[in-house]
Amino acid sequence: MKLSNYSQGRDNNFNLIRIIAALAVLVTHSFALAIGTADAEPFRDSLGMTLGSVAVDVFFITSGFLVTASLLNRQSTIEFIWARALRIFPALIVMLFLTVFVLGVVFTALPTLTYLSSPEIYIYFGKCVTLISGVGYILPGVFDDNPYKHAVNGSLWTMPWEIRMYAILAVSWLALRVTSKFRLALFQRLIVVLAFVFGVGVFFTHFYATSIRHHQAMLFFMFFLGASFYVLREKILLSRWGFFFCMISLGLATFHEHVFFIVYVIVIAHVLFYLAYVPSGFIRKYNQLGDYSYGIYIYAFPVQQSVAHLMPGVSVLQMVLVSAAATSLLAIFSWHLLEQRALRYKAHYVGHTRRLLESNLLRGR
């Protein structure tokens, strides 16, 4: 069947896939945060990537697919912006407040008043809460004696890039308004072109550029690959035999890092969307719980740093078990008490924004 036959409605496995991905990032980070180096992480040497890097790719493919679907189904830039803002910023703001003014106060080696009067903590908060020019990583005196000293919350590095991708979608849709009846077709073609361009960039940076540029190119490619799968959904087939072919190809490619990378880039999206839409039955009951993946993603790193501080010499396995349990509790509270409730205000803010814009237009006349 075509992807378009599956992608109607919300009955899918994306929530389950995303929480598995979020926990995979936690597992990968456990190596560096427990022992100070990520070199021991499985698959890093043999495949050239980690569970965490695959998980981030899954997040960005999923995001590109779902937010593009949201934009094209509603065809409203205002709704798109509010939907994204309410999904990201309420939980982010609360997490940053707890990180800077609770965790930071508890774990800093500085006197409390010295810490609270330090300009660095307000710069950190302001930079992370806006996500415009990257994020901050260090709070004064916090986790200085941990095995990994380079970040309080290293997971946040991907979020400014995702915000920029949202901006590309919104600005492109808004700019193409002048093309009238050709707007949708031009937008869809633009998405596919961007995926192709960033795909070329991924292969170039993998073989010829620095790892930092490669990681950035991968984020953009995976996002617009997911977006392309949505705009081309009428042409993409999801089948059991196609899925098995992709998995066998991945297995056979593990003999060489570069071969595996090439096959991985080609098949990862197809594997993801097959798993998201085809398996059904009991597995779909997970959707009754909630979308805890974002909470796990934003809380895991500072929780793991806290575990490393409180349990000197903690093993990787202990780090995984303790931090997963604590982070999951925070994610559950975050979803039910904050994230889910914030999303309910979307219609209110969209309506208010439209009335405000209409009022300003009338005044301008």
Mean pLDDT of 107-128: 96
Q: Residue 250: exposed, middle, or buried by beta-carbon count in 10 A (0-12, 13-18, 19+)?
A: middle
Of 21-25, 251-255, 355-359, where does mean pLDDT reach its minimum?
355-359
Asked if the model's pLDDT at residue 43 lies above 80, the reply is no
CA nearest to 298, candidates 152, 142, 165, 104: 152
Residue type, 141: G
Handedness of CA 264, 269, 273, 274 (dihedral sign): negative
Mean pLDDT of 128-141: 93
Angle at 59 between CA 62 and CA 202, to 5 degrees: 95
Confidence grade of residue 36 (pLDDT, cut at 50, 70, 90): confident
Range of the domain at 182: 3-364
Asked if the model's pLDDT at residue 364 lies above 60, the reply is no
What's residue 178's pLDDT? 86
Confidence grade of residue 357 (pLDDT, cut at 50, 70, 90): confident
Mean pLDDT of 107-129: 96
Confidence grade of residue 358 (pLDDT, cut at 50, 70, 90): confident
Q: Residue 361: exposed, middle, or buried by beta-carbon count in 10 A (0-12, 13-18, 19+)?
A: exposed
What is the number of domains present in the chain? Answer: 1
Asked if the model's pLDDT at residue 334 lies above 70, the reply is yes
CA nearest to 19, candidates 283, 244, 346: 283
Asked if the model's pLDDT at residue 211 lies above 70, the reply is no
Confidence grade of residue 191 (pLDDT, cut at 50, 70, 90): very high
State the chain's mean pLDDT as an integer: 92
Confidence grade of residue 212 (pLDDT, cut at 50, 70, 90): low
Mean pLDDT of 339-351: 93
Q: For residues 304 and 83, what is the distance between their CA atoms, to the nearest angstrom?
A: 30
Cα dihedral 174→179→181→182 (10° resolution): -100
Mean pLDDT of 322-337: 97
| Contacts with 164 (C-beta within 8 Å, 6 or more apart), sequence order | none
Cβ-contact 169, 57 below 8 angstroms: no
CA nearest to 72, candidates 246, 280, 228: 228
The pLDDT tens digits for 247-292 are: 999 999 998 888 999 999 999 999 999 999 999 888 999 988 989 9
Quickly count: other Cβ atoms within 10 Å of residue 77's Cβ: 15
Asked if the model's pLDDT at residue 7 lies above 80, the reply is yes
| Contacts with 180 (C-beta within 8 Å, 6 or more apart), sequence order | none
What are 51's two structure tokens? Answer: 């569970």
Cβ-contact 115, 102 below 8 angstroms: no
CA nearest to 250, candidates 271, 266, 264, 270: 264
Cβ-contact 45, 210 below 8 angstroms: no
Cβ-contact 110, 141 below 8 angstroms: yes
| Contacts with 353 (C-beta within 8 Å, 6 or more apart), sequence order | 78, 82
Asked if the model's pLDDT at residue 300 lies above 90, the reply is yes
What's residue 265's pLDDT? 95
Confidence grade of residue 215 (pLDDT, cut at 50, 70, 90): confident
Asked if the model's pLDDT at residue 365 lies above 70, the reply is no
Confidence grade of residue 213 (pLDDT, cut at 50, 70, 90): confident
DSSP H stretches of helix in 36-158: 44-47, 51-74, 77-98, 104-107, 112-116, 119-130
Of 33-37, 67-71, 144-148, where does mean pLDDT reach its minimum?
33-37
DSSP 338: I
What's residue 11's pLDDT? 86
